[in-house]
Amino acid sequence: MKKKFLSVLLVASMAVTALAGCGSSSDDNAAAPAAEESEAPAEEAAEAPAEATEASGEEVTITYWGWDSNFYDPMFAAYSETHPNVHFEPVATEWGDMLTKAQQALASNSELPVLVPMDNALIENWKKMDIMEDLTALGLNPDDYSDIYIKKATTSDGKVIGVFENVAPSGIAYKRDMAKQYFGTDDPDELFEIFSSYDAYVEKAADVVADGKFMFHSGQAVAEWLYWASEVPTQTDNTINYTEKMTDVFSKLIDMRDAGAIDTYQNGTPEGNATYAARDHIFYPCPDWAITYYIKGNDPDGSGNWGIMKAPVSYSHGGTAIGVTKASSDAQKAAAFDFIQWATSDPEGAANNRDTAGYITPYKTFLNDTEFTKRGEDEEYFAGEDVGALYYQDIMQAMKVADSSTWENEVVSVRNDVAQQIMDDSAMTLEQALANGMEELSQLVTDSEITIK
């Protein structure tokens, strides 16, 4: 396969996973700790340090590149109401263009933005570029935030280059009427007992398939779930652990395919998204942010017919860290950092983040506050289920994430492509799938010091 075609494939894959680029995830192999106890309730959370810029009334302009207008539009507007001297200039930038645009700015000596959102799948690349300020030098206390997300944004020499706008615990959403019809219950705890292993999705598919229905709508969606749930790190030192990680993913995908459990839609396409409102597919892997962007977005009339349960392995999928570039002025750094603190640790800002973008920040005080993490409107949509408790207490306490790579996006691109090949060719074996992916990845990874194993 020619490199030119692979470049097109990579761009297409990024477009398909752009919403998932609210994350892609990976982190350390240790279980995400339960948010530690905090002495102050959420409404008494400490305000961000007073900033000299606001006190002096100095006019400050904060430039920003980013793709998630559902976050930055309402958050910038709300912050500006109480900080009228701070002016935001956001430039809409596609998820897949962020790194390239920054690299081009560096090469041409052009200005970088003050604030930069760094997707979880690309954050290792941002670390490598070494253009982001260490937020601890601006006053950040890393201990205030969930360890799993702070570690994700910390460089090898201990610099914290961003604070995550949101946590991204993930479960499995399902259609209640179909679950009750085929498995005898729509209760999330009872369903988890039935589907507590990956094999169960194969074993329980027979009645569904016999009726012309499917467990899942897309092999790419299933592969995405299995990828982020895998505990195999994408890279160890200078070695990409391709075969080990993709064997973990593709072997399970092929088992489900062979059982007839998965339909052949491509994930994230209009045709694939239309399946959410239909009654032909039961299960959908679901990070917390997907409730807004995928479930409710694609099935607005489905209130009361959706549930969410734990996956066999609790995992994180997604998340975006926001940081400040080193080249910014001192006044810009102070104002930008104050915005980050306001959006993630201030009661007003974090509540606005939750209520407008649907994001729960990794600030421990809020993660510990069950009232703060309660998703009232979503509870109604999910037939009274306490989805906040499921995501932020049950799943996050057991959540594991694997270390990622500066080549994460290339690996993800290959994963998407080969997953669709597996679905389009029912005779494709695990060995063939691994070989196809190895060939593609070898052409995408251009660093001669990197070994693909």
Model pLDDT for residues 195-244, shown as the tens digit of each residue: 999 999 999 999 999 999 999 999 999 999 999 999 999 999 999 999 99
Burial of 155 (0-12, 13-18, 19+ CB in 10 A): middle
For the chain, domains (ranges, CATH) are 14-19+27-167+318-373 (3.40.190.10), 169-316+402-452 (3.40.190.10)
- The confidence band for 56, taking pLDDT boundaries of 50, 70 and 90, is low
Q: Count of alpha carbons within 13 Å of 86, Cβ hemisphere only?
A: 29
Burial of 5 (0-12, 13-18, 19+ CB in 10 A): exposed
Which residue from 97, 213, 121 is spatially nearest to 413, judged by alpha carbons?
121
pLDDT over 90 (residue 58): no
What value does the mean pLDDT take over residues 128-139?
A: 97
- State the amino acid at position 154 in one-letter form: T
pLDDT over 50 (residue 254): yes
pLDDT reported for residue 15 = 39
pLDDT digits (tens, 9 = 90+) for 144-185: 999 999 999 999 999 999 999 999 999 999 999 999 999 999
Contact 419, 266 (CB under 8 A): no
Distances (CA, A) of 110 to 3, 105, 106, 107, 113: 29, 5, 6, 8, 10
Residue percentage of the chain with pLDDT more than 90:
84
C-alpha span between 303 and 291 (Å, rounded): 12
Given the DSSP bridges, would you call strands 86-92 and 60-66 parallel, antiparallel or unpaired? Answer: parallel
pLDDT reported for residue 6 = 38
Q: Is 325 helix (H, G, I), strand (E, B) or coil?
A: strand
- State the amino acid at position 157 in one-letter form: D
CA torsion sign for 320, 326, 329, 334 is: positive
pLDDT reported for residue 43 = 40
- The confidence band for 83, taking pLDDT boundaries of 50, 70 and 90, is very high
C-alpha span between 298 and 68 (Å, rounded): 18
pLDDT over 50 (residue 399): yes
Residue with tokens 């560096």: 106
> pTM of this prediction?
0.85
What value does the mean pLDDT take over residues 76-84?
A: 96
Residue with tokens 């329980």: 204
What value does the mean pLDDT take over residues 37-43?
A: 39
- The confidence band for 19, taking pLDDT boundaries of 50, 70 and 90, is very low
Residues written for the chain: 453
Contact 276, 299 (CB under 8 A): yes
- The confidence band for 262, taking pLDDT boundaries of 50, 70 and 90, is very high
Mean pLDDT of the chain: 89
Q: Which two tokens stand for residue 191?
A: 């369903």
Q: Is 316 helix (H, G, I), strand (E, B) or coil?
A: strand
pLDDT reported for residue 96 = 87
pLDDT reported for residue 402 = 78
Residue percentage of the chain with pLDDT more than 70:
88
pLDDT reported for residue 355 = 92
pLDDT reported for residue 404 = 84
Task: Calculate ∠ Cα 392-398-403, nearest 5°.
Answer: 105
pLDDT over 90 (residue 1): no
pLDDT over 90 (residue 25): no
Most confident of 9-13, 43-47, 244-248, 356-360: 244-248
Higher-scoring residue by pLDDT: 92, 51:
92
C-alpha span between 146 and 148 (Å, rounded): 6
